[in-house]
Amino acid sequence: MPFIANTPQQQKQMLAEIGLTMDELFGDIPAELRAKAFDLPLGLSEQEVRNRLTELAEKNATNLTCFLGGGFYDHFIPAAVHSIISRSEFYTAYTPYQPELSQGTLQATYEYQSMICRLTEMEVSNASLYDGGTALYEAMMMALRITDRNKVIIDDSVNPIYRVMIRSYTQNLRIELEQTHCEDGLANREQILEKIDDKTAAVILQNPNFFGCIDNFSDIADATHEKGGLLIISCYPISLGILKTPGVMGADIITGEGQSLGIPMSFGGPYLGFMASRKQYVRKMPGRIVGETTDRSGQQAYVLTLQTREQHIRRDKATSNICSNEALCALTALVYLALLGQEGLKETAQLCADKASYAYKRLTAITGVAPHFKGKWFFNEFVLDMPCEAADVIAKLIEKGFAAGFPLSRYYDDMENSILICVTEKRTKQEIGMLTEALESVL
């Protein structure tokens, strides 16, 4: 049983036992970093801890009707998803360090990879990454390795959270990162095509982009390939139920956030980064890749075909040091996609698009509310301009029970009055009507 020094008397007893003073105990910590005093309360019993945590949890507004998006989405999750992934053989497994002994885990991973390939219309997929942002960074680094170049072009219609992550990871690397400014809600073709040259390793785009606008990047893919570069597209997996896939557009590497595939929003994680690419680049991919084969008896078997972590045999040839596969989250996405099936995914995507279109018409009919990007196609997110600051409107709508959207002024200087609103299949016609009435009253 560990000794816990809660009281001053217990602390003295502990110090006497180890033969140190308090100053000697913390002697390795610089004086300027030490706390001036440890004014900590006494320990609590289990019941008291539960009561305190419940009290704190009740301060969270968990009953808001959600119209938030921006990369993380409130989709319906069938009860069977939780039931299946909670089985002990799945729930307690971390990763197959003796892979061939874990045939069930390997098969699930192989099926996940297969579904990501079908979803994106690409040839190979890895066994997943941390989240959408780190997956996009890994795709960029993969392109640098493939092309042996260091110039990357990224449009600011790509999720700003992802762009912050990329800049954080690359600020001390010799990478020429050039950002273009979107034009009326879409990637700035004029700037992008002007910047693509023989030094360009990759162009990074997103579809639907952060503003929810839909684009077709086939022309940019052709221009990039003509100069020997690669096209990387970040995508929203649910939208692929009805939209043209990045694979068909000519993308070389595809990434995205898999949270919408059966994973709860959960105050920020854990989430899932998926990645797929052309088969010719498979040895440059980070993470693990599971393959299907037969054993010496001729029976179907699964093997860990590639593992590129530095702690394995790759050592200095490792393609990533953050490529731990989010196995349980990947399994969740697999189960979700299997339960929905091809038609179910199409139906879900169509419901999102139809309900968003209905909400757009209702909200833009309010006096003083106008679309920020006029005449642009969108999937299930769109930007509206308010007659006043967006943050104030959102705050007032929270009081009325709505998480009404994302204030774009947080990342874009010229959009103080703009709100990014998202509608998923969970939102009902009644809820959309109630949001409309609440916004009218606030304005």
- The answer as to whether 354 is a domain residue is yes
Q: Are 306 and 277 in contact (CB under 8 A)?
A: no
Residues 163 and 201 in one domain: yes
- Count CA atoms closer than 13 A to 295's CA, side-chain side: 9
- Three-class DSSP category at 438: helix
Total H helices, total E strands in the chain: 14, 15
Residues 323 and 357 in one domain: no
Residue whose structure tokens are 């019993």: 45
pLDDT score recorded for residue 406: 95
- The answer as to whether 1 is a domain residue is no
Q: Are strands 402-403 and 253-257 parallel, antiparallel or unpaired?
A: unpaired
Tokens of 275: 């990645």
Q: How far apart are CA 419 and CA 396, in angstroms?
A: 13
Q: Are 99 and 117 in contact (CB under 8 A)?
A: no
pLDDT in tens, 237-260: 999 999 999 999 999 999 999 999
pLDDT score recorded for residue 315: 64
Residues 194 and 260 in one domain: yes
Distances (CA, A) of 207 to 114, 140, 215, 370, 426: 22, 17, 6, 23, 22
Q: What is the CATH number of the domain that holds 311?
A: 3.40.640.10
Cis peptide before 41 (omega within 30 of 0): no
Residues 238 and 262 in one domain: yes
Last residue of a domain, one of 277, 302, 336: 336
Q: Are 369 and 439 in contact (CB under 8 A)?
A: yes
Q: What is the pTM of this model?
A: 0.88
Residue whose structure tokens are 């069977």: 80
Last residue of a domain, one of 336, 352, 385: 336
- The answer as to whether 271 is a domain residue is yes
Burial class (CB in 10 A: 0-12, 13-18, 19+), 126: buried
Residues 18 and 164 in one domain: no
Residues 332 and 384 in one domain: no
Closest CA to 205 of 174, 228, 236, 226: 236
φ, ψ of residue 372 in degrees (nearest 5): -75, -40
Per-residue pLDDT of the chain in tens (443 residues, 90 and over written 9) = 455 666 778 888 889 999 998 888 888 999 888 877 767 788 889 999 999 999 998 888 778 999 999 999 999 999 999 999 999 888 877 666 677 788 888 999 999 999 999 999 999 999 888 999 999 999 999 999 999 999 999 999 999 999 999 999 999 999 999 999 999 999 999 999 999 999 999 999 999 999 999 999 999 999 999 999 999 999 999 999 999 999 999 999 999 999 999 999 988 888 999 999 999 999 999 888 999 999 999 999 999 888 766 555 556 677 776 656 578 999 999 999 999 999 999 999 999 999 999 999 999 999 999 999 998 999 999 999 999 999 999 999 999 999 999 999 999 998 999 999 999 999 999 999 999 999 999 99
DSSP conformation class of 125: E
304 Cβ neighbours under 8 A, 6+ residues apart: 96, 99, 100, 106, 288, 289, 290, 291
pLDDT score recorded for residue 1: 45
Residues 287 and 400 in one domain: no
Q: What is the CATH number of the domain that holds 413?
A: 3.90.1150.10
Q: How far apart are CA 84 and CA 265, in angstroms?
A: 19
Residues 363 and 318 in one domain: no
Q: How far apart are CA 86 and CA 155, in angstroms?
A: 40
Range of the domain at 69: 65-74+342-442
Expressed in angstroms, the distance from the first to the final Cα of the chain is: 61
Domain count, the chain: 3
Q: Where are the alpha helices (DSSP H) in 365-389?
A: none
pLDDT score recorded for residue 121: 97
- The answer as to whether 58 is a domain residue is no
DSSP states of 383-406 as a string? EEE-SS-HHHHHHHHHHTTEE--E
Last residue of a domain, one of 285, 303, 336: 336
Distances (CA, A) of 312 to 199, 239, 317, 404: 32, 36, 10, 47
